[in-house]
Amino acid sequence: MSAELICINGECRARFPVTEVIYNCPRCGALLEVDYPGRELNPEAAKRLFRERRMDNAPLNQSGVWRYRELIGFLDDYRQVVTLREGNTPLLASPRAARYGGLDRLAFKHQGFNPTGSFKDNGMTCGVAQALRLGMKRVACVSTGNTSASMTAYAAAAGLRPVIFIPHGNISYGKLAQALEYGARTLQVEANFDQILALVRKLAEQLGIYLLNSINPFRIEGQKSIAIEMMDQRDWNPPDWIVLPGGNLGNISALGKALRELVDLGFIPRLPKLAVIQATGAAPFYRFMQDPRPDNFEPEREPETLATAIRIGAPVSWPKAWREVAASGGAVEQVSEEEIADAKAQIGAAGIGCEPASAATLAGIRKLTATGVIDQGADVVAVLTGNLLKDPDYVYRYHTGQLKTAAGHEIHGHFENRPEVVPNDPEKIAVLLAD
């Protein structure tokens, strides 16, 4: 199968070989994506093949990304692929979370079950495969934490040298700990994500380091598998809505591209609507979508949210995200710190759990059902992007009434669950536990 890079700008549409090391269109500067000219697949045969591969022990077929390789076929040789068995994440129905969100039913596609605990692994196995194909020795990213944890793991497994740039003081220890353990050269920069991305893009070019942020179109190809696997798990019946948190807007771009391709190839009958939820303090895409015009995108200069994963003010993939939300007839919402914190506690109380950014989905659903954008009876899947254990500090503070915003504003959670200190005295404990 032949693959090419194509500029997403409708007036440019320049094409380049997939082996060129470029992240933006050299002609007009717009974003690039992978295109498969003339690709044709027999959907029924492919669906059967994907099912058979689930029962196969070959590493590539055990991967919830590479199992679907005909739909992400930018490589022509798979021998160098490094898989940590990414993907294979469950769809978990939760009546309790559905009630909280104002729905009759709701399922979570839980990407926190990935090898490094976030959805980044789906894309990173592809990004690192491309780095190997290009003969790169070092890979780099700026990250709010999950990208750096994932990139470092895959780079380490592939024998590449990872360099990560993170906003000093603004990533959770769970994520930083992973990167240190997997062996990243770790630079904590005194700047925010957006400022560091500008810096890293210059440095990557100057030093010949391969950039693995979500601007990298091969990572987006890998993240498509989140939607592909979701459809496979639903026997190729699309839901009415898919809801996900938005930060740098790479994931919405990936899911939207996957779903459009699945419709075009005849795998699914229609596009689900896509909803993106942002934190109020880091919601430039939400504001843009109130009056979307190409020259109207205003970055948030000082993004602020305790959901540090999505603390991003200048999301690079906004033009792709706009295209996908518009194509699906979807929606964009913003939610407060308190709404995120409470929704997160509800997802936890359902026995599922996730990190703060992921919980923006349920908080957003609650708002979108209240305003009638999503019907109570709709079939909805929310993507939980990261594992509960990514940010235990946040969890502890919430449940002990100590969660505060950067400006010192206290968050009054409605579902606190305080630990109790008790004497080493069975009688007193028995009194406490008498129901």
Among 247, 256, 281, 353, binds ligand F0G (CB under 6 A): 247
Among 144, 172, 328, 334, binds ligand F0G (CB under 6 A): 144
The residue (of 357 and 380) whose beta carbon lies closer to ligand F0G is 357
Note whether 248 binds ligand F0G by CB under 6 A. yes
Note whether 249 binds ligand F0G by CB under 6 A. yes
Note whether 256 binds ligand F0G by CB under 6 A. no
Note whether 127 binds ligand F0G by CB under 6 A. no
Among 63, 94, 122, 143, binds ligand F0G (CB under 6 A): 143
The residue (of 125 and 214) whose beta carbon lies closer to ligand F0G is 214
Note whether 357 binds ligand F0G by CB under 6 A. yes
Note whether 355 binds ligand F0G by CB under 6 A. yes
Tell me, letter by letter, the H, E, C secondary structure of the chain: CCCEEEECCCCCCCEEECCCCCCECCCCCCEEEEECCCCCCCHHHHHHHHHHHHCCCCHHHHCCCHHHHHHCCCCCCCCCCCCCCCCCCCEEECHHHHHHHCCCCEEEEEHHHCCCCECHHHHHHHHHHHHHHCCCCEEEEECCCHHHHHHHHHHHHHCCEEEEEEECCCCCHHHHHHHHHHCCEEEEECCCHHHHHHHHHHHHHHHCCEECCCCCHHHHHHHHHHHHHHHHHCCCCCCCEEEEECCCCHHHHHHHHHHHHHHHCCCCCCCCEEEEEEEHHHCHHHHHCCCCCCCCCCCCCCCCCCCHHHCCCCCCCHHHHHHHHHHHCCEEEEECHHHHHHHHHHHHHCCCCCCHHHHHHHHHHHHHHHCCCCCCCCCEEEEECECHHHCHHHHHHHHCCCCECCCCCECCCCCCCCCCCCCCCHHHHHHHHCC
The residue (of 127 and 145) whose beta carbon lies closer to ligand F0G is 145
Q: Which stretch binds ligand F0G (CB under 6 A): 69-77, 97-105, 144-152, 266-274?
A: 144-152
Among 101, 217, 239, 250, binds ligand F0G (CB under 6 A): 250
Among 63, 83, 118, 328, binds ligand F0G (CB under 6 A): 118
Note whether 216 binds ligand F0G by CB under 6 A. no
The residue (of 63 and 114) whose beta carbon lies closer to ligand F0G is 114
Residues at the site binding ligand F0G, with contacts judged by CB under 6 A: 118, 120, 143-147, 214, 245-251, 309-310, 355, 357-358, 385-386
